[in-house]
């Protein structure tokens, strides 16, 4: 079947149509089935967005029935095409397709659309519904995720030549192309000439509140062409034009493609067709009945004609054969490329060595440098042990210390490198990283200043929601940044990140804690990890660094244990402030006779997951009074402090001045901390 042991059959071998390109009886029946599955599910839920599933049914049907390479029985087939529904509000289009295609999504799940514990939530969620590649809903995110997947596919093909031949497809909407993140991502895709990327723009000229031209009238084609895309405009209801556009996209590999499909929202609804009323609310009983009559559909709900089931079953057989062919090709490729077999396995597993933390601790940087520099040195060791680690920065690599040494930058001509140049596009950087991770072979990292996490909050939140393993490196973590002033000085950002569920935020205090943080980030597989690092130098902490690193891996540990009896005072601290807390504790003990414990808390989220007995042991006896000290907002520390606790930090914006001056003005020095602790302990 193969022309040689490592050759894939050409794509047309699995895109041969099972029906003519032009619409006929069975294709019309299939499209109407898709429309009414959406209508019926949304009517049953009494909420939803029927307009997009009805208007985009034709472009989606042609793609899924003739072009998309996938196997419903093996949703994670590595050589599958990826399909992203970026306007996630049209989720019933995707759920209907998944059900008809043969994925494990029974009709009963469609009947429970938007209901508790169903696999058909209001917006698609990856890892919840078989066949859903990306969690979408916030417009623009799916668009940018697809760019990340296309970039990952290029990097995979460069590392494993001849193994893969797949394409990234997405349906995007007016809302997607209006969101700024989409243009950031489109710019990167055009710059890198991602010819393995095709987006179908459902251009229906309607938004939730009215006509598109009330807010948006630019020439989208010219904008994307200026960004390096090829564009084509078609009638989104003409199957012959749709198929020709898909063929043209696949026939070239030099540019990403945007197919502008002119469609009618709510296509087929007699009275709501082409109106914003069909965008975000059910058709209603009367209009649903009128649509049935107009399209000759029975009044019974959730009807799937037997001919349509057979039609999609035939396609499933073609896809099963394609997957079986590729698996044979995979085995032949592995036999022909034994030197790449180990790399392939490591990329598939995205594993790090079991002894990664111990390896890092054995080679710790010895200096009292900034944690950005210490973590940067440690990152090089992680990269050497973990070929799946790739990443880049927002034009700040010299400051974040994150470029992987001895590795090239990814360019349009060479995707073998591990360093990505995202440019000054933080929002797209975070969203593209999610797509790279969801592709399945890489663990991506991003890097920028902590204050610019504001630009990345949407993809960080979605990474937490979607259990996406990605690492975000944030440097310049506090007012100690100094002269750049309050626009760049983070005070609320660590707390803001900690508020996002399923996000681990590490703020290490020295090289040992940096090693624990990177080991945790590299091995986490159920969500994102934030590494928050200092620009200013940190002091070397007391005690054995190897033991500290092992203890830090639990998120919080006793750094300095009290002397002379049970602790009277426990100081909780993170990052560069830990050494100041150690000095304050020393003074309180030496000068005041206080029994003081210092707890370093590099990751509150990991610490919260420890067993209660460990947490209680670290936090000290019930009678001890607790204080926290961190150069940022103080509010989240009260969960550990109690009503008589003390939270020391910065609850205002910063100022432009040298770091030491700011430390003095904001009470962050050992003198100030000691004085504030004494005042608190005296009760005045």
Residues with catalytic annotation? Answer: 426
Round to whole Å and give the CA distance between 566 and 621.
Answer: 7
Residue with tokens 């009044």: 299
- How far from each other are the two terminal CA atoms of the chain, in whole angstroms? 85
**8 Å CB contact between 242 and 262:** no
Mark out the alpha helices in 8-162 (DSSP H runs). 12-15, 25-45, 51-55, 57-62, 91-101, 107-111, 141-159
**8 Å CB contact between 55 and 267:** yes
**8 Å CB contact between 83 and 169:** yes
Round to whole Å and give the CA distance between 535 and 370.
Answer: 5
Round to whole Å and give the CA distance between 403 and 405.
Answer: 6
Give the Cα-Cα-Cα angle 649, 650, 654 (nearest 5 degrees): 150
Query: What b-and-e string marks burial along 600-617, b requiring 16 or more CB atoms within 10 Å of the CB?
Result: bbbbbbbbeebeeeebee
Question: Is 309 exposed, middle or buried (CB count within 10 Å of its CB: 0-12, 13-18, 19+)?
Answer: middle
Q: Is 532 helix (H, G, I), strand (E, B) or coil?
A: strand
Q: DSSP string spanning 237-285? A: T-HHHHHHHHHHHHH--SS-EEEEEE--TTTT-TTTTTSGGGTSS---H
Round to whole Å and give the CA distance between 266 and 278.
Answer: 6
Facing residues of 573 across strands? 600, 629
């Amino acid at each position: 079947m193969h022309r040689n042991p490592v050759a894939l059959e050409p794509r047309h071998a699995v895109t041969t149509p099972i029906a003519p390109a032009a619409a006929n009886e069975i294709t019309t029946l299939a499209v109407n089935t898709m429309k009414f599955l959406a209508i019926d599910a949304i009517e049953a839920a009494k909420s939803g967005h029927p307009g997009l599933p009805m208007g985009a049914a034709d472009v989606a049907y042609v793609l899924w029935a003739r072009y998309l390479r996938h196997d419903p029985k093996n949703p994670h087939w590595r050589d599958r095409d990826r399909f992203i529904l970026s306007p996630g509000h049209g989720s019933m289009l995707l759920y209907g397709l998944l059900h008809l295609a043969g994925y494990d999504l029974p009709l009963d799940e469609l009947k429970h659309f938007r209901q508790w514990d169903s696999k058909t939530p209001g917006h698609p969620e990856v890892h919840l519904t078989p066949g859903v590649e990306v969690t979408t809903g916030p417009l623009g995110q799916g668009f940018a995720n697809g760019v990340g997947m296309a970039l990952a596919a290029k990097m995979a093909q460069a590392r494993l030549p001849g193994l893969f031949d797949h394409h990234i497809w997405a349906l995007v909407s007016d809302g997607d192309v209006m969101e700024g993140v989409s243009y950031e991502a489109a710019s990167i895709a055009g710059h890198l000439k991602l010819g393995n990327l095709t987006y179908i723009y459902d251009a229906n000229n309607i938004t939730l509140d009215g006509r598109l031209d009330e807010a948006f009238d630019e020439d989208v084609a010219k904008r994307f062409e200026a960004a390096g895309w090829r564009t084509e405009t078609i009638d989104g209801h003409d199957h012959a034009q749709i198929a020709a556009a898909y063929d043209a996209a696949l026939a070239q590999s030099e540019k990403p493609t945007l197919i502008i499909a002119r469609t009618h929202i709510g296509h087929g609804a007699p009275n709501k067709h082409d109106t914003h009323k069909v965008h975000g609310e059910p058709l209603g009983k009367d209009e649903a009945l009128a649509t049935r009559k107009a399209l000759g559909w029975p009044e019974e709900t959730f009807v799937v004609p037997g001919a349509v089931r057979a039609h999609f079953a035939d396609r499933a057989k073609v896809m099963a054969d394609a997957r079986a062919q590729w698996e044979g090709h995979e085995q032949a490729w592995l036999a022909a490329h034994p030197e790449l077999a180990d790399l392939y396995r490591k990329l598939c597993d995205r594993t790090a060595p079991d002894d990664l933390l111990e390896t890092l601790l054995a080679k710790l940087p010895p200096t009292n440098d900034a944690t950005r520099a210490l973590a940067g040195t440690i990152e090089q060791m992680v990269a050497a042990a973990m070929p799946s680690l790739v990443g880049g920065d927002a034009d700040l690599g010299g400051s974040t210390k994150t470029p992987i040494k001895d590795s090239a930058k990814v360019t349009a001509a060479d995707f073998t490198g591990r360093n990505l140049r995202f440019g000054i596009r933080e929002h797209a950087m975070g969203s593209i990283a999610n797509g790279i991770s969801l592709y399945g072979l890489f663990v991506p990292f991003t890097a920028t200043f902590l204050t610019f996490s504001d630009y990345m909050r949407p993809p960080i939140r979605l990474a937490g929601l979607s259990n996406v393993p990605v690492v975000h490196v944030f440097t310049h973590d506090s007012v100690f940044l100094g002269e750049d002033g309050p626009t760049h000085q983070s005070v609320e950002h660590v707390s803001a990140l900690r508020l996002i569920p399923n996000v681990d935020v590490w703020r290490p205090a020295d090289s040992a804690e940096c090693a624990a943080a990177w080991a945790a980030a590299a091995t986490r597989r159920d969500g994102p990890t934030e590494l928050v690092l200092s620009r200013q130098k940190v002091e070397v902490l007391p005690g054995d660094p190897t033991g500290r690193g092992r203890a830090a891996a639990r998120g919080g540990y006793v750094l300095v244990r009290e002397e002379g009896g049970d602790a009277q005072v426990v100081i909780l601290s993170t990052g560069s402030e830990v050494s100041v807390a150690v000095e304050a504790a020393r003074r309180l003990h030496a000068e005041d006779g206080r029994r003081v414990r210092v707890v370093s808390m590099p990751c509150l989220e990991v610490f919260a997951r420890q067993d209660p007995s460990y947490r209680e042991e670290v936090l000290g006896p019930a009678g001890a009074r607790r204080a926290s000290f961190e150069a940022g907002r103080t509010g989240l520390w009260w969960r550990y402090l109690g009503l008589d606790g003390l939270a020391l930090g910065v609850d205002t914006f910063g100022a432009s001045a040298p770091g030491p001056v700011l430390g003095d003005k904001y009470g962050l020095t050992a003198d100030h901390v000691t004085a504030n602790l004494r005042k608190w302990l005296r009760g005045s």
